[in-house]
Amino acid sequence: MIDHPNTGAAPADVSWMSWTAAGLAGIVGAAILISVFAPDMITGSQQEHLAVAAFGTWLWGLIGSAAFLTGMGRLRGSAARQFIWTGLAAATLAIWLLAAVVAIAAPRAVTGTDPTQIPVAAMVAPVAATVLTWLAGTAAKVFATPPG
């Protein structure tokens, strides 16, 4: 295998690192977008705004990042697995992009006479994205494990 001229790393290692960085950047970018642009919860007769998405999204982004890194870490070492780690990174990017769109664009649930507005999608989308990221990493491990 020919080493990369600038780093001395094999091309497969450079690809793995690039896709790993892309997946992590996608998770962090989605967490930032959700935290900044997701609708606030509006409660009480004074209509106080509370950015509930900003509270939990970072935690779920960290857990999702750990799940993604665990999945990618299982794939490192063989250039034959390159299409699997590319797929895992692409799936992670798609999952977190969808979570950001849903969390930002979904309407709030309105309850009570005040009315209280609850951004359910902004609270649930990061959790769902984390679970799906873990599931994608597990599926990638299954695809990378040879039979027998």
pLDDT tens for each residue of 123-147:
999 999 999 999 999 999 999 988 8
pLDDT confidence band for 87 (50 / 70 / 90): very high
What one-letter code names the amino acid at 49? Answer: H
> Is residue 148 situated within a structural domain?
no
- Name the pTM for this structure: 0.88
Burial of 32 (0-12, 13-18, 19+ CB in 10 A): middle
146 within a domain of the structure (yes/no): no
On whether residue 133 sits in a domain, the answer given is yes
Q: Does the residue 5 lie in any domain?
A: no
- Using 50, 70 and 90 to split pLDDT, how confident is the model at 115? confident
**Structural domain harbouring 95:** 11-141
How many structural domains comprise the chain? 1
